[in-house]
């Protein structure tokens, strides 16, 4: 009886090796397809030209961003709150940005001051020019 068990095991060993090799071959074929399914083309950066100079307070509010031009530096912050995506607004008297949905507050540099937001606002690059367009914001 032990002789027949040994011959069965010997016959199944090449079959198991073939199955494993076939499984690895299928995985090698399917893996690139699975990577392609999850692939997303990154969005092209948008350049927005601002043809006016910043007002005296150094803050220019646009529909997509808030531009700051103070102390020789220019920067722009997204208006999309990092908590739930509401549009933040700038409060000149308190010098802060606030989300109207849940009152998250951010500094003019985009740092979280009060929650519920936990992530800072996204900053955009700004190119300042001497002639029109005076600012070019890359989103």
Confidence at residue 132, expressed as pLDDT on a 0 to 100 scale: 86
Q: Which residue has the tokens 């103070």?
A: 70
pLDDT along the chain (139 residues), means of 10: 55 71 81 74 87 86 92 91 92 92 94 92 92 89
Full DSSP string of 31-52:
HHHHHHHT--PPPPPPEEEE-S
pLDDT for the residue 77: 95
pLDDT for residue 23: 82
Q: Which residues of 95-130 are buried (b: 16+ CB within 10 A; e: fewer)?
A: ebbbbeeeebbbebebebeeeebeeebeebebeeee
Do the beta carbons of residue 27 and residue 33 sit within 8 Å?
Answer: no
Q: Where are the beta strands (DSSP E) in the chain?
A: 47-50, 59-61, 65-70, 73-78, 89-91, 96-98, 105-106, 112-114, 123-128, 135-138
pLDDT at 81: 93
Predicted TM-score (pTM) of this structure: 0.68
């Amino acid at each position: 009886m032990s002789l027949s068990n040994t011959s069965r095991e010997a016959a199944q060993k090449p079959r198991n090796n073939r199955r494993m090799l076939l499984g690895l071959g299928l995985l090698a074929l399917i893996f690139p397809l699975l990577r392609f399914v999850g692939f997303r083309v990154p969005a092209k950066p948008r350049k927005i030209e601002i043809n006016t100079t910043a007002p005296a307070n150094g803050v220019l509010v646009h529909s997509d961003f808030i531009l700051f031009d103070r102390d020789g530096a220019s920067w722009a912050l997204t208006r999309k709150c990092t908590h739930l995506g509401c549009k933040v607004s700038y409060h000149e008297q308190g010098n802060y940005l606030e989300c109207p949905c849940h009152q998250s507050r951010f500094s003019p540099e985009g740092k979280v001051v009060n929650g519920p937001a936990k992530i800072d606002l996204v900053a955009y690059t700004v190119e300042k020019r001497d002639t029109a367009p005076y600012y070019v914001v890359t989103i």
